[in-house]
Amino acid sequence: MLRKEQNDLLTRTGPETPMGRMFRRYWMPALLAGELPENDCPPVRVKLLSERLVAFRDTNGRYGLIDEYCAHRGVSLWFARNEECGLRCSYHGWKYDVTGQCIDVPSEPEASGFAKKIKLRSYPLVERGGVLWTYMGPPDTEPPLPEWEFITVPAKQTFTSKRFQESNWLQAMEGGIDSSHVSWLHRGDLNSDPLFKGARGNQYNLSDARPVFEVAESPGGLYIGARRNAEGGHYYWRITQWVMPSFTMIAPRGNHSVHGHFWIPIDDEHCWAWSYDYHPVRELTDAELAAMRDGKGIHVRYVPGTFRPLANSDNDYLIDRAGQKAGRTFSGVEGIAMQDASLQESMGPIVDRTRENLVSTDNGIIMARHRLLRALKAFTDSSVVPPGIDPQHQKVRSAAIVLPPDVPFTEGARDVLIARPDVAPASV
Amino acid sequence: MNSADEAHFRVQAPNSLPRATAVIALDADAQAVIERLGRTGRPQATLLSATSPDGLLDLAGRARNLREEVDRADLVVLVAGPGGRAHAAPAIGEACSRRRVMTTGFVVAATAAPEREVSQTLAQLRPWSLMVVIAGDDSYIDDMLTALRA
């Protein structure tokens, strides 16, 4: 359990909140690059950390992320015309460039210089690995660009999607480090999903539903190790990485791609679940890409024209009770991503953590909260840079590995928990 | 519907009974931690020290019976520092195993210690712990016990 004030502290991420200020020190994924596919394409509404913004790509290919509303009469610039290096408001023609600077107010004489006095809040927007990243903090503390391995490998080795989630970011992120649910909620998918099946490690998962967990701090967050029995008295370890504040990388399976998530607050009751799949040393196959686009693995199918999952709260996630009874799925919901999202959304927009009854196997979640609270205090009281901002903290890998019983996973897997170019991931 | 609206319809009756947690220090590093816990007040937790494989003392120095303490516990937390001095872990772990009591191993003072010494302690705790925590900050145990309602 958390006290109410701690729960509020971690879940509220608006501009003037402590957690919101800390989130703003990180580069965050804002859009898929494909959402702004060409110069002068239509602008896109973006809501992040409880701020409404509009993103656009100007005539010269520069990206902009600015306040959604025109400084004149408060009209949404989503209706604006994207033309000649700026967004021109459809109401009275005020025009803004990618920095939010007003560059034309047609009703005022150009010589008056009035336009120079108008500037909307703007944030940098940078393409890296098919994702548009933004930094919403003070300009003087802007960190180096992100170095996550999934955005630094060649384009043919990586695939990223995002989906709208109707819950606070924290309960979604906690689901990503809650390794103990996999043997239950996802048990029907390990041997059937094309992006999971066939791995030897799956058998360890399915034959030992009560893993033993070890949690240790990493430079950027946590290593969460789940240990199961393997042959010859050895242990099969699945090691998940969590990097503050909301990046996770799940342990791989066989030669499948490596995957994980970012959970980015839209506002306090909604978040973006970003899902990436990549392989450090090979291109993704056509079959893998087709499966990812078809919503397999950790990806979803969408309501056409949106990033809202096709299975959602309005249709009870298309629950299939017959499939649940027959054991095809444990919860009745199809697909790993929506199995997670359906349950996380069922907790309510912001789960009341004063009423939860955690158990010992929840220590990954407990320690993540502890690290967040500790970092938040150091950041707020002493301006200490939070973990996860340093690009070195981002060069991580998850791992699945069989080790002798007397070798700690932090020691036996030390080298494979670091991203190294052209080195295959440790996977079973 | 926002959170406040949604919460209005949730049952607010208590959904659990108090749990009993025993926190057992296995060496001197751990003893300092449970003495600090004793000063901050942990009414739901019984704070104990292992003086021999099956000998326990409470913070007031009174002898406690291992089997009785395990019998009344829902969770036993084994606390030890680096260096492999958690010699009581097998006896306590076996008692917990017989009674099917959940165990958590907690390694304190791990940050500055040589990895070999942490490994020695892990090797002692791991066979008897269903959850092992290696924390860089000993204050984690406070948050953990609060989270577990201890």
Residue-wise pLDDT for B35-59, tens only, equals 999 998 888 899 999 998 879 999 9
What residue in B sits closest to A405 (Cα-Cα)?
B123
Contacts of B3 in chain A (CB under 8 A): 268-269, 348-350
What distance in Å separates the CA atoms of residue B92 and residue B67, rounded to the nearest whole number?
A: 9
B42: distance to nearest CA of chain A, Å?
15
Question: Binning pLDDT at 50, 70 and 90, where does residue A201 land?
Answer: confident
- The string of pLDDT tens digits covering residues A28-58 is 999 999 999 999 999 999 999 999 999 999 9
- 3-state secondary structure at position B97: helix
Contact at CB, B131 and A269, closer than 8 angstroms: no
- 3-state secondary structure at position A378: helix
Long-range contacts, stretch A409-415, CB < 8 angstroms, 24+ apart: A409/A214, A409/A223, A409/A225, A409/A227, A409/A237, A409/A239, A410/A216, A410/A223, A410/A225, A410/B115, A410/B134, A411/B115, A411/B119, A412/A237, A413/A237, A413/A239
Give chain A's largest Cα–Cα span: 83
Contact at CB, B143 and A366, closer than 8 angstroms: yes
| Adjacent-strand bridge partners of B23 | B47, B77
Contact at CB, B144 and A2, closer than 8 angstroms: no
Contacts of A217 in chain B (CB under 8 A): 134-136
Mutation for testing the A interface, residue in B138, B140, B142 having most A CBs under 10 Å: B140
Looking at residue A4, its pLDDT comes to: 95
What distance in Å separates the CA atoms of residue A43 and residue A383, rounded to the nearest whole number?
A: 36
Residue A129 contacts by C-beta under 8 Å, 6 or more apart in sequence?
A: A148, A150, A151, A152, A153, A155, A158, A160
How many CB atoms lie under 10 A from the CB of residue B17? 9
Q: Among A215, A367, A408, select the one facing B122 at the smallest CB separation.
A: A408
**Residues 111 through 130 of chain B touching chain A, CB cutoff 8 Å:** 115, 118-119, 122-123, 126, 129-130
Query: Is residue A134 within 8 Å of A141, Cβ to Cβ?
Result: no
pTM of the model: 0.94
| Adjacent-strand bridge partners of B21 | B45, B75
Query: Is residue A426 within 8 Å of A416, Cβ to Cβ?
Result: yes
B85: distance to nearest CA of chain A, Å?
16
Mutation for testing the B interface, residue in A314, A345, A367 having most B CBs under 10 Å: A367
| Residue bearing the bigger pLDDT, B5 or A103 | A103
Note whether B100 contacts A: Cβ–Cβ < 8 A. no
The answer on pLDDT for B2 being more than 70 is: no
What distance in Å separates the CA atoms of residue A87 and residue A97, rounded to the nearest whole number?
A: 6
Question: Binning pLDDT at 50, 70 and 90, where does residue B115 land?
Answer: confident
Strands A212-217 and A221-229, bridge-based pairing: antiparallel
Contacts of B117 in chain A (CB under 8 A): none
Evaluate the CA torsion angle A289, A292, A293, A296 in order and state its sign: positive
Among A28, A20, A72, which Cα is nearest to A46's? A28
Looking at residue A110, its pLDDT comes to: 85
Query: Is residue B86 within 8 Å of B25, Cβ to Cβ?
Result: no
The answer on pLDDT for B8 being more than 80 is: no
Supply the angle between the helices A4-11 and A363-382 in degrees, to the nearest 10: 70
Residue A50 gets the label, from left (phi > 0), alpha (psi -120 to 50) or beta, of left
Among A48, A102, A107, A59, which Cα is nearest to A77's? A102
What distance in Å separates the CA atoms of residue B24 and residue A334, rounded to the nearest whole number?
A: 44
Mutation for testing the B interface, residue in A13, A351, A370, A415 having most B CBs under 10 Å: A370
Looking at residue B3, its pLDDT comes to: 62
What distance in Å separates the CA atoms of residue A287 and residue A70, rounded to the nearest whole number?
A: 45
Among A70, A63, A2, A78, which Cα is nearest to A33's? A63
> Is the bond preceding residue A37 a cis peptide, omega within 30 degrees?
no
Q: State the average pLDDT for chain A.
A: 95
Rg over alpha carbons for chain A, rounded to the nearest Å, is 23
What distance in Å separates the CA atoms of residue B60 and residue A403, rounded to the nearest whole number?
A: 43
Looking at residue B52, its pLDDT comes to: 86
Contacts of A268 in chain B (CB under 8 A): 3
What distance in Å separates the CA atoms of residue B37 and residue A187, rounded to the nearest whole number?
A: 40
Which structure tokens are listed for A234? 């050895």
Rg over alpha carbons for chain B, rounded to the nearest Å, is 17
Query: Is residue B141 within 8 Å of B47, Cβ to Cβ?
Result: no
The answer on pLDDT for A98 being more than 90 is: yes
B10: distance to nearest CA of chain A, Å?
10
Question: Binning pLDDT at 50, 70 and 90, where does residue A156 land?
Answer: very high
Query: Is residue A211 within 8 Å of A217, Cβ to Cβ?
Result: no
Which amino acid is present at A413? A
Q: Locate tokens 């996550």: which residue?
A: A148
